[in-house]
Structure formats: structure tokens, C-alpha cells
Structure 1
């Protein structure tokens, strides 16, 4: 078994992937996108962080965050987002006996994936990945067609042109 360790760099920037437990044919995150937004806003008020890039897909989220100087606790923020979102939903999902015994909901995967951003090029590459993801998954043919993305904020700021990536043909659906 690998000796997995998270990188905790106060004031650092990270790329995240956070998945629902039951991903296939699950559109919960876009169906409940307003609740997700409210939950994120509430957590940001208590534990500030900057959302550098964000995309909500039907069954997972990609995000790039920067934490305040002196703060490296991204895990607390994700825990509060996941639990706040889950508590606001009716208890209708399947829960394994293990999850029932531990009082857990059956909405999110327990863990998330994070990558510490190393430099400007790494940042740009991950922000691009976040924004192109709806095309990669075959949800739209152009990045600007997906409404649940920080891409539109980047266009408003003049960072990306409206037609960034143009029409893409994506034959593979799914993350690496």
C-alpha cells in the first residue's frame, strides 16, 4: 500500500476533483447547482478561499483554489461543502450498511483528489483542464456552452476569447 501524504502549503493553490459516490447517470450536482452554490458561499464566508477556476458537471466537480496566507486546511472546506450540501437534501439515496453504521450519507465519495499547483504554467494547464472538461465528457461541443463553469468569468475578464477551443470533437468520455 502506498504511503499517501497530502501536501499542506499555507496560502497554496490546489487543483481538486470531487466525485459523487454513484457517478453513472447521476445529474445531482447540476440538478441541485443552486444548493451547491449556496453551500460553497456559506463555507467561504466562514473559511475564506479564492476560487480560481470551477466547473460543476453532473457527477463531479473540478476546482482550482487558493487559500489565504497561513492557511492550508482545504480538507475542512471540502468536508463542510460536502456535508452541508448532503444535509440539505432529503435522505433518499442508497446507503451501505457501513455508511449507515457511521452515520454517513451515500452522496459523495469519501475522498477527493488534489494536486498542489507548482508554478504559473501548472496553474494555466489546470485552469484550462477545468474549463474544457464539459467538452471532454461530451456534454457540449464548445466550452462556452456549459453554464456551470468559471469559464464565463474568464471571458468577461478578457483572459479567454468567447470561442476558446472552438468546436472540439471528443471521442473519449471520462477523466484520466
Structure 2
């Protein structure tokens, strides 16, 4: 079966999912810290926006805003390669950390964007890791529960970029 080709798009928000390779042990807090630092560094290098995220033991999700001339493929490859190197070094292992492909969806409207953010933040609850979204420490959910001026809700390792979207859910973004 042939692989689907990925669209080459920029200046869009993408909902992305990156799954752990099936042969790898589940991610833990130390791995999450590495992943947060890697995303933070790649964010500066590739100048993308990170507006929502969650790390789980076997995968992670994010909403990433990619700006021309970068593409979501360039951003994700950079994150996956760097995090694999660092986590393999920490674990004294070699080989793949992530599945070969990641999943992405271009978000076209405010409604799609809001649904993606809600899905991301509900993921730890649906996986029975916590009872409330605010209780999972590896998520941007707490930042969404605070006011824009409230710095106490910012995640210490991976704060989100705050964006203002139109209130009309049908508006294209």
C-alpha cells in the first residue's frame, strides 16, 4: 500500500499527533522534560507557535502554527530527531523512539481549532490518568483555565503562545 503524500502548507495551524514506537517503553516525567525542552528549542529555531499540547505515556498531541517558509513536516522532523537523540542518550538505548510518521490535520476554522484544543486537554482524563484536566502536569490545560494576565498558570517548561481568534466559530483561520 502506498503512503499518502503530505500536503506542503505553511501559515496554518495544525493539530498533530506523534506516537511512541510500539517497541519502546512508556514515557515518564524525565522523558517529558526532555520533550518539553526540545520543543521549546525547536520553537525558537523554526519560529512556530505552540498553542496547545499534552504529553502522554505513549504519544503526544499539539496545535502548532507554522509560518512560511517552514512546513509542519520540517518542524516535526526536527522535534522527533532531537528528542530521539536525547531520550536514547538518557536511556542508554539506540533506535527509533517515535513511529515513522506523525499525524497532522490542518485546522481550517475556529470551531476545528477549539475542538482540537478541547480534545488535547481531555486526553489524560479519557486515558484514565487523572479525573480533571487541570490535574495532569504535562499539558497546557491549566493555561487555558487562567486569565491571560495570570502568569501563575503558565507551564514552567513549555508555556503556550496565546493567540486571539474571532468569536464566530465558522470563521476561517
Q: TM-score range by the shorter chain?
A: 0.7 to 0.9
Q: How does 1:19-98 map to 2 (within 5 A)?
A: 19-22=19-22, 26-28=25-27, 30-68=29-67, 70-88=68-86, 89-90=88-89, 92-93=92-93
With over 3 angstroms needed to count, the CA separation of the structure-2 counterparts of 1:134 and 1:46, relative to structure 1, is same
Count of aligned positions: 147
Q: CA deviation at 1:113?
A: 0.5
| Unmatched runs of 5 consecutive residues or more in structure 2 | 154-173
Residue 27 of structure 2 contacts residue 56 of structure 2 at CA under 8 Å; is this kept in 1?
no
* Higher RCO (C-alpha under 8 Å, 6+ residues apart): 2
With over 3 angstroms needed to count, the CA separation of the structure-2 counterparts of 1:117 and 1:20, relative to structure 1, is same
Q: TM-score, normalised by structure 1?
A: 0.75
Q: 1:118 — aligned with what? A: 108
Q: TM-score, normalised by structure 2?
A: 0.76
Q: 1:98 — aligned with what? A: none
Distance 1:111 1:4 in 2: 11
Residue 27 of structure 2 contacts residue 57 of structure 2 at CA under 8 Å; is this kept in 1?
yes
3-state secondary structure, aligned to 2:60: strand
Q: CA deviation at 1:19?
A: 0.7
Q: 2:141 — aligned with what? A: 151
| Unmatched runs of 5 consecutive residues or more in structure 1 | 96-104, 163-176
